[in-house]
Structure 1
Amino acid sequence: MTQSRPIFSCRICGDAPEVASGDSAPIFPYWSFTKTVIAICALKLAEAGKIDLDEPIAGQPFTLRQLLSHTAGLPDYGTLRDYHAAVRNDEEPWSRDDLLSAAMAQGRRFAPGQGWAYSNVGYMLARERVEDVADRSFACLVKDMICEPLGLRSIALATTREDFSRVHWQAAMQYHPGWVYHGCLIGTAADAAWLLHALFTSRLLKAATLAEMLHRYPLGGAIQGRPWIDHGYGLGLMSGRVGVAGRAIGHSGAGPFCVNAVYHFPDLEEPVTVASFSDGQSEGIAEFAAMKLAENG
């Protein structure tokens, strides 16, 4: 697929990153790749015996595993017109309780465990559960569990407009990261790729835990305008087949002004991990770029 937009990418195989465009290190919003990091934190707590993924959350009919796999039956705030209008108008984010009330007024989608529906609300609740059990903020958990052990210096949790002023695209100046209610990490393409590469090279989770994370809910075949031949969702991980590259496992993300795709390709002769970022609103732009870079280097 021919790309007319500038793509900022990083490709990692083995232990050496290969920066694919530009010689600087711009900062990007990770958008929904943050979900992968929330899931990693939850699973690390589970490995330590501090959290039970299958225990019903107090006062709720669903479990943390169901939140992480989008099978809790919760609605999403992405379907709210007023939410999108407020973002377009560059308003200040709603309070957490107002957002939750507006989203839940749409009604539950299905009984927990009886279906699949993508829900940012679910990941907001998952992050809160992880923070409650750990008695630490998500930002601290990311720093201590992931960034410091891996030497990732650029990654941070954006919570203010000032934080987003560091983002590569000028449009970020008219966006408050508080509109991403599960949290929005920011960082370089290289650090996004290194983080996911570490997951698949036994630097973050035990093999049995990674297997749990990879166990997916199948969602069907091709998606129009995107490279997927088949796709599904695990715990914080999108996965499926994307043609010659075989399986792709990671997460895409999109916001009002840019998109990203951070994926590991385990079926290539030498498995690689790629992070691609572009302006625009179609995740397929970044996904096709990531697939091409994985295949061709």
Structure 2
Amino acid sequence: MSPPRARAVLDASGALASEGPAGAVVWWSVTKPAIAAAALRLVAQRRLALDAPLAGEAFTLRQLLAHRAGLGDCGPLPAYREAVARGDPPWTFAEMRARIEAAHPPRPPGSPFAYSNLGYALVGRLVTEASGLPLGAALAELVLDPLGVTDARFAETDADLAATVFPPPAGYHPGHVHHGVLVGPAASAARVVRGIADGAALPPDLAAAMRAPEPVETGPLPGRPWAEPGYGLGLMAGVTADPRTGARLSVLGHSAGGPGSVGAVYHAPATGRTAAVFAPGLDEGAVEHAALAALLDGA
């Protein structure tokens, strides 16, 4: 028997059909498109620069958003996984960066794609500094409110995560997700990704830059539907292939995974549909396939 899923599908008109458990789910890395959109809104307001090196750094905001700043990630570090398993307090940004760079010295900016939660933690700090708001308030003001999404929120405590449909283990603190994490219904995740993919909150040039993918040089992804994986500025953007029929479809959105659950939220410009699927477990490929099926079938 398949595990329960929180699922929401928006058709081309924006009408919603959903099934599975109601209530909030943890968005995990679906938070990244919201952080990226907030940063780009601040670029549009000339409070951040997209292509100038950051103060004291060699890389740019564009490179951070595209995972091409040469930074490493906390996920592969045994010390990080052990700290989470013990229930230690989350590392500070400075500690996280020092530990990552000790294990994986930074590469030159503009290096090939390397997924980095550290990079997005740094983007979150830039958003906070430029907006003068805590990150959760900045995401609400710059992204969620303009898209009409009022039932998603930035998780601040382990209780915020424990109240979700597929919660992480007891005591898991959202600070272990170093760029922060949003929680909310699957339908709201679909609306946020759809609005960002449609460029609703950004000037046309920045919306186009966000959607434009660079190839991800990872090779085949076993068990996942990506035929041509790519990444824009905060959006996974590439071509998927349906294993049932071979049908190919270009999509924009993001996948997600953390302790207790996985998710996939994607918009298909060709069909106008958006699908969000969240489920318990660790299988990102399964929720990606389910989202792709909904985008192709509209059901």
Structure-2 change in CA distance of 1:275 and 1:145 (3 Å): same
Q: Provide the identity percentage.
A: 36
- What CA deviation, in whole Å up to 9, does each residue of 1:52-93 have, x standing for no partner? 111111111111111111111011111110111222233321
Q: Which aligned pairs between 1:64-213 and structure 2 lie closer than 5 A?
A: 64-213=61-210
* Cα distance in 1 for residues equivalent to 2:268 and 2:248: 7
Runs ≥4 in structure 1, deviation > 4 angstroms? none
* TM-aligned CA deviation for residue 18 of structure 1: 2.4
> How far 1:162 sits from its partner (Å)?
1.8
Unaligned runs of 5+ in 1: none
Find the partner of 1:236 among 216, 234, 237.
Answer: 234
Of 254, 258, 261, the match for 2:257 = 254
Question: Which residue does the alignment assign to 1:4?
Answer: 2
Separation in 2, partners of 1:148, 1:16: 17
Once the two structures are TM-superposed, the CA of residue 245 in structure 1 deviates from its matched residue by: 5.1
In terms of mean alpha carbon deviation, does 255-264 or 163-172 score higher?
Answer: 163-172
TM-score (norm 2): 0.92
Residue matched to 2:296: 295
Residues 230 and 201 of structure 1: is their aligned pair in 2 closer, same or farther, counting only changes over 3 Å? closer
Answer with 104-113 or 65-74: which moved more: 104-113
CA contact (8 A) 1:77 1:99 kept: yes
Deviation at 1:109, TM superposition (A): 4.4
Q: Structure 1's 172 and 205: CA in aligned 2 closer, same or farther, altered over 3 A?
A: farther
Alpha carbons 1:245, 1:291 under 8 Å: kept = no
CA distance in 1, matches of 2:62, 2:149: 27
The aligned runs of 1:10-21 (5 Å cut-off) are: 10-21=8-19
Residues 17, 190 of structure 1: 8 Å contact kept: no
**Structure 2 Cα separation of the partners of residues 113 and 148 of structure 1:** 33
Distance 1:187 1:172, change over 3 A: farther
Q: How far 1:242 moved relative to its partner?
A: 1.2
The one-letter amino acid paired with 1:263 is Y
Q: What is the distance in 2 between the residues matched to 1:167 and 1:288?
A: 23
Matches within 5 A, 1:29-44: 29-44=26-41
In 1, Cα distance between equivalents of 2:168 and 2:53:
41
Residue 275 of structure 1: how far off its partner (Å): 0.9
**Kept in 2: contact 1:90–1:175 (CA 8 A):** yes
CA change 1:202–1:61 in 2 (3 A) is: closer
SS of the aligned residue for 1:16 comes to coil
Q: Residues 142-164 of structure 1, C-alpha deviation per residue, up to 9 Å, x if partnerless?
A: 11122222321221111211211
Secondary structure of 1:153's counterpart equals coil
Tell me the amino acid that sits aligned with residue 294 of structure 2.
L
For the 8 Å contact 1:87–1:179, the answer to whether it is kept is yes
Task: Tell me how far 1:250 sits from its aligned partner.
Answer: 0.6
Counterpart residue type for residue 222 of structure 1:
P
1:52 aligned residue: 49
Q: Does 1:219 align with 2:216?
A: yes
3-state SS in 2 of match to 1:10: strand
Q: Which moved more, 1:174-183 or 1:132-141?
A: 132-141
Q: How many angstroms does 1:212 deviate by?
A: 0.7
Structure 1: how far apart are the matches of 2:17 and 2:77? Answer: 38
**For 2:294 and 2:248, how far apart are their aligned partners in 1?**
10
Q: Which residue of 2 aligns with 1:278?
A: 279
For residue 265 of structure 2, give the secondary structure of its aligned residue in structure 1.
Answer: strand
Q: Secondary structure, in 3 states, of the residue corresponding to 2:16? A: strand
8 Å contact from structure 1 (residues 245, 265) kept in 2: no
**TM-score, normalising length: structure 1:** 0.93
Give the equivalent residue in structure 2 for 1:61. 58
